[in-house]
Amino acid sequence: MSCPYLQSNLDNMKNNNSNVDEIPILTTTTNSITNDHAHVTEPLNYTTYLGLNSLLSSLRCLSHVDRSNESSLPVHDEHFFIIIHQAFELWFKEIIYEIDSIRDIFGSNDDVATFVFDISLRLNRIGKVWKILIDQLQLLESMTPMEFLEFRDFITPASGFQSLQFRIIEMKLGLTDKSRDAYKSNFFTETMFKGKQSNELQTSIGEVSLLRHIERWLEKIYDETSFNFCEVYEEAVESMIDHDKQEKIQNGIDEQIAEIEADKAKLQFDEMINSIKYQVLVNNNQRRMSHKAMLAALMIAHYYQQPCFQQVYQIISLLMDNDTLMTSWRHRHILLVLRQIGRKPGTGGTDGFTYLQATLNF
Ligand code: HEM
């Protein structure tokens, strides 16, 4: 199969009886991260359409160009290391683009029901990108720790920790300072990132996150539900817990233990149904959504087979998939870090493994 870009240019050439390089177009590149707008008149072809000249010329191996220490040789694997990180940043850009488009749908429509299909497609796409990114980390396993050590000094103090796009993804999804420990968002906006980058991050912190959009949507669904879910649910769960207790006793479990377990289950259940007790969990950062939104999610999870809840359930499932995938990426990255540098501190200034392990709670 021939290249589609080549084909369209050949058609143009045939129609205009001219050379590919002589077809002028106005190319507009908009960088959603920096908001730079560059208007360049260039002939349209594969290279100009994809901006390959600037993309491919942005690779600079420090161990190859910095020859101040002539006793060391240029390190072969640094090229590979940079390509991998650059590919990551391109995919991060796509994730941000998709998250923004979903947030826009929620932000500009009172009734998102007609857009559920688009939202599902995009969430599904983000999930597929995370799967690629998890796999992509494996590529770096082909670099030996000794080889990495050979150019690690050259790249210090640069670190993935300073990836602006990664922070923007976290913020746009809904990560707040409450969930962070040592590194709160003001560390990034005031200490790590400066000027334009800091403003960029500040803007994403000020925007309504995807989590908050989902929360509002769920609250609306709950308000529109005509039956008293709490009442129905409370009755069903209470009898389920009692039934479970009886079954345990019949199966030979000590009555006292069965009683303790049933009380524990009732307490946990009460914390969900009782709005005051639930609020304590929110204040302790053990729950992220409002009581009403959580009840709506619970209701949807129970009645997901009802036609009115099927699509909403699908969206909630995709959100949970994405959450799992992002955490899996963090896991995979930690394993890579242990393999490459063990428990040494990171080039970005954290204590490395211990810090990264704490981020799994995000
Ligand atoms: C040899 C491979 C790698 C090593 C040894 C490594 C090491 C580390 C360490 C130690 C940290 C903690 C921060 C610090 O530097 O003090 C970190 C954070 C991070 N790294 Fe890597 N990394 C590697 C590859 C990658 C790749 C391929 C990416 C892809 C973009 C990446 C993205 C990140 C991100 C986003 C963080 C911040 C995590 C957070 O704060 O939640 N790293 N890395």
**Angle separating helix axes 255-273 and 291-302, nearest 10 degrees:** 120
The atom of ligand 1 lying closest to the CA of 136 is 27
129 with 241, same domain: the answer is no
Q: What was the pLDDT predicted at 204?
A: 96
The atom of ligand 1 lying closest to the CA of 137 is 27
Measured in angstroms, how far is the CA atom of residue 85 from the centroid of ligand 1? 10
81 with 195, same domain: the answer is yes
Residue 19 lies in a domain: yes
Q: Is the CB of 350 under 6 A from ligand 1?
A: yes
Mean pLDDT (whole number) for 36-53: 82
281 with 335, same domain: the answer is no
146 pLDDT exceeds 90?
yes
Protein residue with its CA nearest to atom 5 in ligand 1: 337
Residue 63 lies in a domain: no
Q: What was the pLDDT predicted at 351?
A: 95
147 with 87, same domain: the answer is yes
Looking at mean pLDDT, say which of 69-83, 88-102, 176-190, 275-289 comes out highest. Answer: 88-102
Nearest residue to 81 (alpha-carbon basis) of 161, 156, 148, 158 = 148
Q: Is the CB of 166 under 6 A from ligand 1?
A: yes
Query: Domain with 111 in it: what CATH number?
Result: 1.20.58.480
pLDDT digits (tens, 9 = 90+) for 209-222: 999 999 999 999 99
Q: How many domains does the chain contain in total?
A: 3
Q: What was the pLDDT predicted at 2?
A: 45
More confident residue, 124 or 227: 124
188 with 329, same domain: the answer is yes
CB under 8 Å to 11, separation ≥6 — which residues? none
Q: How far is CA 358 from CA 136, 252, 323, in A?
A: 23, 41, 16
Q: Is the CB of 333 under 6 A from ligand 1?
A: yes
Residue 333: which region, alpha, beta or left (left: phi > 0; alpha: psi -120 to 50)? alpha
Q: What was the pLDDT predicted at 24?
A: 38
For the chain, percent of residues with pLDDT exceeding 90: 72
Domain that holds residue 10: 4-56
pLDDT digits (tens, 9 = 90+) for 230-282: 888 888 888 889 999 999 999 999 999 999 999 999 898 899 989 999 999 99
69 pLDDT exceeds 90?
no
Residue 27: φ, ψ to 5°: -95, 130
Q: Is the CB of 139 under 6 A from ligand 1?
A: no
Q: What was the pLDDT predicted at 4?
A: 47
172 pLDDT exceeds 90?
yes
Q: Is the CB of 348 under 6 A from ligand 1?
A: yes
201 with 81, same domain: the answer is yes
Protein residue with its CA nearest to atom 20 in ligand 1: 160
pLDDT digits (tens, 9 = 90+) for 90-133: 999 999 999 999 999 999 988 898 999 999 999 999 999 999 99
Q: Is the CB of 159 under 6 A from ligand 1?
A: yes
Residue 178 lies in a domain: yes
Instruction: For residue 37, list its beta bridge partners.
Output: 30
58 pLDDT exceeds 80?
yes
**Mean pLDDT, rounded, of the chain:** 87
Q: Is the CB of 346 under 6 A from ligand 1?
A: yes
Q: Is the CB of 278 under 6 A from ligand 1?
A: no
297 with 341, same domain: the answer is no
Residue 64 lies in a domain: no
Identify which of 92, 133, 333 to mutate to test ligand 1's pocket (most ligand atoms within 8 A of the CB).
333
Q: What was the pLDDT predicted at 31?
A: 39
Instruction: For residue 27, list its beta bridge partners.
Output: 40
| pLDDT tier, 8 (very low <50, low <70, confident <90, very high otherwise) | very low
Measured in angstroms, how far is the CA atom of residue 161 from the centroid of ligand 1? 6
Residue 85 lies in a domain: yes
